Structures are given as structure tokens and as C-alpha cells.
Amino acid sequence: EAEVAQSPRYKITEKSQAVAFWCDPISGHATLYWYRQILGQGPELLVQFQDESVVDDSQLPKDRFSAERLKGVDSTLKIQPAELGDSAMYLCASSLGPGRLDEQFFGPGTRLTVL
Amino acid sequence: AQSVTQLGSHVSVSEGALVLLRCNYSSSVPPYLFWYVQYPNQGLQLLLKYTTGATLVKGINGFEAEFKKSETSFHLTKPSAHMSDAAEYFCAVIPYNNNDMRFGAGTRLTVKP
């Protein structure tokens, strides 16, 4: 069964360091999402891609976060420099299209701890 | 802005008992509604969704939810809890006027033997 892959699964870093997370969506899925899930809260959308283009990054803290999906397939989310408040689960999801009824399939997430 | 409220951050039931997880949304125009389950150290899995049509929606693993417009609710139920149902459950909405999925804070379900 096709799945969304994410790596690493766990990342511990010190504040002010740079971190990067990778996501490989389900093959053929044009839409890719990055969410941040703080402990005890629901996921919040950081950025949405349609193919290689950013559709929505209104909630992405652009002073320190960046995301790219250069070839419209896999994607990388980067944080530089990391801050203590960035400790969270970072979830990637993909869907066939951007439509409201296109089911989002989630990866297992990357749990980031910033010390 | 559209918001989702899940009443009760923790719910504990005995095995075999009814499961009821509550979700209310704030919108005069009904959004699309979803329930997701998240097992420890895993991503979210879709349980069920309501878009239009029949207000009682059946999902996977024996779960169902009923959309009640008058109550702006979309509560999740299961007649008989199994130990394997222990997980975090998230209600989510996609507002009628955009495509952003917004999640509630989640309800952790514990099932006691």
C-alpha cells in the first residue's frame, strides 16, 4: 500500500542550529502539505504545494522556515535557526489534487526536539 | 474564523462500552467535516468525512458520526470500544469558503480492560 514517507522520524538539535526534514508523497499526488503539531494540539498547516508551486504559505514563519518541492515530487522543510518553541511533530501529507474532497494521506511525522 | 472545538481532551471508557467523542464547529454555513485517528508515533488516518447528503456517516473500524446542523456538531461514536481504539482523535473542518483544513485540539481515548 502506498504511503507518505518522512525522514528522519526523530531529530534532536540545539537551538540556533539548522534542521531539515524530508517528505516523499504518494506517487502521483500533486498536492503536498506540511503541518506542525505542537504537543496537545491539532496539526496546523504551514505550507501547501501544488506540484512545485507554493499555494499557501501564509502560516509559515518565513524568517526561519523554508520549504521547497523543486521537481514537484519530494519536498524539504528547513528551519534555520531552530528555536525552543519549534519543538513539535512535523507532519507531511499528500493528496491527488487540491480539491476540498481530495483525501489527505499523512506520513508518520518527524518529531523535533530543540534543546 | 472557522474553529473546531473538541469537548474533553481525555475520554476514558471500559472495553465494550459506548464511545462518544464530541466535536462542534463554528460556522453559519456548514463546512466539510472530518474525523482522523492518530496512533502513537504515527500520522493521521481518516476515519470518516461528511460533505453532503446523509447526515449519518459510517467510517472505518466501526465508527460513525452524525452531522447535526442545528447543533453545529459532528460527534463521533462507536457502540462497543476495543482496546485497539486507544488513540488520539481529531475533528477537522474545511470551511465552505476556502480549502484550508483546520483541526481541533484532539481527544485522547483510553480504553480500560
Q: How far is B89 from chain A (nearest CA, A)?
A: 9
Which contiguous run of DSSP H or E holds residue A65?
strand A65-68
Q: Is B43 in contact with A106 (Cβ distance < 8 A)?
A: yes
Partner-chain contact A42 B4, CB within 8 Å? yes
Instruction: State how far the Cα of B104 lies from the Cα of B65, in Å rounded to an integer.
Output: 16
| pLDDT at res. B1 | 57
Quick check: helix, strand or coil at residue A98?
Answer: coil
| Rounded CA separation B35/B32 (Å) | 11
Tell me which of B6, B21, B96, B100 to substitute to probe the interface with A (most A C-beta atoms closer than 10 Å): B100
**CA nearest A109 in B: which residue?**
B43
- B109 in helix, strand or coil? strand
A16 vs chain B: nearest CA distance in angstroms?
26
Q: What is the DSSP letter of A97?
A: S
For residue B109, give the nearest of B2, B20, B3 by alpha carbon: B20
pLDDT tens-place string over residues B82-102: 999 999 999 999 887 777 888
Q: Which pLDDT belongs to residue B9?
A: 93
Is residue A26 scored above 70 in pLDDT?
yes
Dump pLDDT digits (tens) for A67-80. 999 888 999 999 99
Q: Is B105 within 8 Å of A104 when comparing Cβ atoms? A: no
Cα A106 to Cα A43: distance, rounded to the nearest angstrom: 11
Nearest to B32 among A4, A100, A111 (CB): A100
CB spacing of A109 vs B43 below 8 angstroms: yes
Nearest residue of B to residue A105, measured between CA atoms = B45
Q: pLDDT, tens digit, for every residue of B42-81?
A: 889 999 999 888 899 999 999 999 999 999 999 999 999 9
Interface of A with B (CB under 8 A): 4, 9, 40-45, 56, 91, 93, 98-101, 103-104, 106-109, 111
pLDDT tier for residue B27 given thresholds of 50, 70 and 90: confident
Q: Does B41 touch chain A (CB under 8 A)?
A: yes
